């Protein structure tokens, strides 16, 4: 068993070496590519050449052995008999030295009586009966030469028309020398017939291994590999198709991964942002228990209902997200909306967050009042672009963070104004939120807007690293930017800049 494992391991290593050599060869583009039928034709031609070459070598070897006197040609016995015919006819007793040592002979009297010779006893009568009056006949697979002697007796000499080895030992093993060479030729042809297809199969199989390996990688979604090439055009075309399939699958998987990431981000963002209306509802519910003023009860009850609607809207978005119909950076619902009314809504929700968090909200809006008419006042009003809900979530996340980190009865300042930060004179809406908390650490300023960044805990408030990340994502989605800093008076300061559009510009 151990030996078997070692051999299997060795075979595997050998295969890997062969594959590596082949891969180095096929890494080159168009390395003298050949068609499969041309390769097959080449193997057939090589087979034919080897077969012909084998025949020529065997034929040449036969004649070399004949010329060296090691093999007698087929007509050798008949020629020797014809040469000795006169001596046999006129002489006395037939001597074996006159005949080849491979011949059998017998001498009969005029009445067919056996006189002498070396024909086997069981064949003597049959030989005489079949001979008749003909001089040459074929009997027992041999030829018989009839020679009438002058003394009235008849000599019957058997010979064979075949090549024979001179050596009696070889002749005993191989009676017909020609069959030995013919058998060698047939054996070599059989060997070529078996080996050449196997060689062709191994040649193609080594190249198909690159194909099967590529297909296996695509099947198990191991797509981190380069385009393979083959010196066989048909295989290279299949490899090209697999490479295109790999790229398409890779793109599909990448898009699927991004979609899942976006879906996960949206779910986490919604789970985080739903905390804002819940905080307002909880705060207003607590206030309802502490007051008997009907006007305040109605006001706070209205805020509770508004935030319940927000929760319902978040739940709808969550449902669409789980169906794959919307994502965190989907950009759906893009539109222009007036800045001033939107800021008024932010101001109201910020006040509700402040009441829930026991913090005072100081909100200062330095924007022109939106006109309700259709004249120049409306044309000059300021608009923001983007998904209104998402932009609101971005700003409310920042405000909620400020309230969370501000001590009880502390203050959170919200300042909204129009600025022109660039040299192009373009107007931006800048919303600055400043709290009275411990402020940002150096690491917070660098990484505070990263997803799941939770800082070192020095700010003393537990969070999940989603608020500022969501705020930055939605701000950038609307074409804006978010900046972290610390206020001169202490506390954290978050600035959101959003591009403004004028009503006259939108009409154009």
Residues 212 and 100 in one domain: no
- Choose the final residue of a domain: 108, 126, 161: 161
In a domain, 307, yes or no: no
Alpha helices (H) in 96-176, listed in sequence order: 124-131, 168-173
Residues 185 and 69 in one domain: yes
Task: Output the pLDDT for position 182.
Answer: 92
Is residue 380 scored above 90 in pLDDT?
no
Reported as a pLDDT band with limits 50, 70 and 90, residue 8 is very low
Is residue 271 scored above 90 in pLDDT?
no
3-class SS of residue 428: strand
Domain that holds residue 176: 25-73+167-246
Residues 361 and 438 in one domain: yes
In a domain, 35, yes or no: yes
Residues linked to residue 148 through DSSP beta bridges, in sequence order: 154
Residues 90 and 141 in one domain: yes
Distance of CA 159 to CAs 94, 146, 168, 282, 373, Å? 16, 11, 16, 127, 136
Residues 184 and 65 in one domain: yes
In a domain, 322, yes or no: no
Residues linked to residue 208 through DSSP beta bridges, in sequence order: none
What is the CB neighbour count within 10 angstroms for residue 6?
Answer: 10
- Choose the final residue of a domain: 208, 223, 246: 246
Higher-pLDDT residue of 222, 110: 110
Query: How confident is the model over 356-376, as pLDDT tens digits?
Result: 888 899 999 987 665 444 333
Task: Output the pLDDT for position 230.
Answer: 74
Residues 86 and 191 in one domain: no
Task: Output the pLDDT for position 289.
Answer: 57
Q: What CATH number is associated with residue 157?
A: 3.40.1840.10
Q: Which residues contact 494 (CB under 8 A, 6 or more apart)?
A: 398, 401, 402, 432, 433, 468, 471, 482, 483, 484, 485
Residues 478 and 399 in one domain: yes
- Choose the final residue of a domain: 113, 132, 161: 161
Question: DSSP string spanning 223-286?
Answer: ---PPP--SBHHHHHHHHHHHHHHHHHHHHHHHHHHHHHHHHHHHHHHHHHTHHHHHHHHHHHH
Residues 215 and 231 in one domain: yes
Task: Output the pLDDT for position 7.
Answer: 36
In a domain, 465, yes or no: yes
Task: Output the pLDDT for position 275.
Answer: 60
Reported as a pLDDT band with limits 50, 70 and 90, residue 214 is confident
Residue 118: name the closest of 160, 155, 147 by CA: 155
In a domain, 390, yes or no: yes
Residues 370 and 494 in one domain: yes
- SS3 track for 86-103: HHHHHCCCCCHHHCCCCC
Query: How confident is the model over 394-438, as pLDDT tens digits?
Result: 999 899 889 988 998 899 999 999 998 877 888 999 999 999 999
Q: What CATH number is associated with residue 431?
A: 3.30.565.10
Number of compact structural domains in the chain = 3
In a domain, 287, yes or no: no
Residues 115 and 129 in one domain: yes
Higher-pLDDT residue of 376, 315: 315
In a domain, 274, yes or no: no
In a domain, 174, yes or no: yes
What is the CB neighbour count within 10 angstroms for residue 427?
Answer: 15
Contacts 24+ apart (CB under 8 A), 237-243: 238/211, 239/210, 239/211, 239/214, 242/211, 242/214, 242/215, 242/218, 243/214
Distance of CA 84 to CAs 104, 152, 273, Å? 14, 18, 126
| Cβ atoms of residues 344 and 398 within 8 Å | no
Residues 35 and 87 in one domain: no
Give the H/E segment covering residue 418: strand 411-419
Residues 53 and 130 in one domain: no
Higher-pLDDT residue of 136, 176: 176
């Amino acid at each position: 068993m151990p030996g078997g494992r070692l051999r299997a391991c060795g075979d595997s290593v050998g295969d890997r070496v062969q594959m590596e050599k082949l891969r180095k060869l096929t890494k080159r583009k168009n390395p003298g590519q050949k068609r499969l039928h041309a390769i097959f034709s080449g193997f057939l031609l090589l087979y034919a050449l080897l077969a012909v070459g084998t025949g020529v070598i065997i034929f040449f070897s036969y004649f070399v052995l004949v010329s060296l006197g090691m093999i007698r040609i087929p007509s050798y016995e008949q020629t020797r008999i014809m040469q000795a015919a006169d001596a046999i006819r006129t002489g006395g007793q037939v001597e074996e030295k006159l005949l080849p040592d491979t011949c059998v002979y017998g001498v009969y009297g005029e009445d067919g009586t056996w006189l002498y010779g070396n024909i086997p006893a069981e064949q003597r009568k049959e030989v005489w009966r079949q001979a008749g009056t003909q001089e040459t006949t074929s009997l027992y697979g041999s030829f018989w030469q009839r020679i009438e002697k002058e003394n009235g007796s008849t000599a019957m000499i058997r010979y064979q028309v075949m090549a024979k080895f001179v050596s009696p030992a070889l002749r005993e093993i191989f009676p017909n020398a020609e069959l030995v060479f013919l058998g060698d030729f047939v054996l070599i042809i059989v060997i070529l017939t078996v080996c050449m297809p196997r060689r062709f199969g191994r040649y193609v199989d080594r190249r198909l291994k690159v194909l099967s390996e590529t297909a296996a990688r695509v099947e198990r979604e191991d797509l981190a590999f380069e385009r393979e090439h083959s010196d066989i055009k048909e295989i290279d075309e299949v490899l090209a198709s697999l490479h295109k399939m790999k790229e398409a699958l890779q793109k599909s998987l990448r898009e699927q991964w991004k979609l899942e990431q976006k879906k996960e981000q949206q779910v986490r963002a919604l789970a985080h942002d739903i905390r804002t209306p819940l905080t307002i509802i909880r705060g207003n519910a607590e206030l309802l228990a502490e007051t008997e003023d009907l006007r305040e009860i109605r006001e706070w009850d209205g805020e509770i209902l508004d935030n319940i609607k927000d929760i319902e809207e978040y739940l709808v978005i969550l449902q669409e997200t789980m169906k794959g119909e919307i994502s965190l950076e989907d950009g759906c619902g893009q539109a222009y909306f007036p800045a001033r009314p939107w800021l008024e809504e932010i101001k109201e929700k910020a006040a509700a967050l402040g009441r829930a968090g026991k913090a005072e909200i100081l909100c200062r809006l330095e924007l022109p009042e939106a006109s309700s008419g259709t004249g120049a006042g409306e044309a000059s009003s300021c608009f923001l672009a983007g998904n209104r809900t998402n932009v609101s979530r971005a700003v409310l996340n920042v405000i909620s963070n400020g309230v969370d980190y501000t001590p009880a009865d502390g203050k959170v300042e919200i300042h909204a104004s129009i600025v022109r930060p660039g040299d192009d004179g373009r107007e931006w809406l800048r919303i600055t939120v400043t709290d009275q908390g411990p402020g940002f650490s150096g690491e917070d300023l660098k990484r505070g807007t990263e997803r799941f960044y939770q800082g070192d805990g020095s700010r003393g408030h537990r969070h999940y690293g989603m608020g500022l990340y969501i705020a930055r994502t939605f701000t950038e989605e609307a074409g804006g930017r978010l900046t972290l800093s610390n206020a001169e008076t202490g506390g954290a300061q978050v600035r959101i800049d959003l591009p403004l559009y004028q009503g006259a510009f939108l009409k154009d």
